[in-house]
Amino acid sequence: MTKITFIQPDGESQTVEAENGLTVMEAAKLNDIAGIEAECGGACACATCHVYVDEAWRDKTGKAADMEEDMLDFAFDVREGSRLCCQIKITDALDGLVVRVPAKQF
């Protein structure tokens, strides 16, 4: 199991354990993490699972692919480290991953 920490805009943090192979979005939904809507169910088609990957983890999660980058155009307040978490697959390398939930999804 891999540990992932979600930090809410008010600073509240929740650490969940998730199986490798799931996406960070799926881990969030399975654990009822507030602020991750994932309206399209993980198809990279809606930009409502937007998160900010903590700076220390950006090398490990990698950058958004072209399609994801296009979809990020539909997200609000996109920053350095912005990702759609349905596109981040959980592996051992991400054990301890920290992501921040934005104040608003669209």
Cβ distance to another protein smaller for residue 39 or 59: 39
> Could you say whether residue 86 binds another protein (CB under 8 A)?
no
> Could you say whether residue 68 binds another protein (CB under 8 A)?
no
Q: What is the DSSP letter of 40?
A: T
- 10-39 mask for another protein (x: CB under 8 A)? -----------------------------x
Give 38's contacts (C-beta < 8 A, 6+ positions apart). Answer: 25, 28, 29, 46, 48, 49, 86
> Could you say whether residue 45 binds another protein (CB under 8 A)?
yes
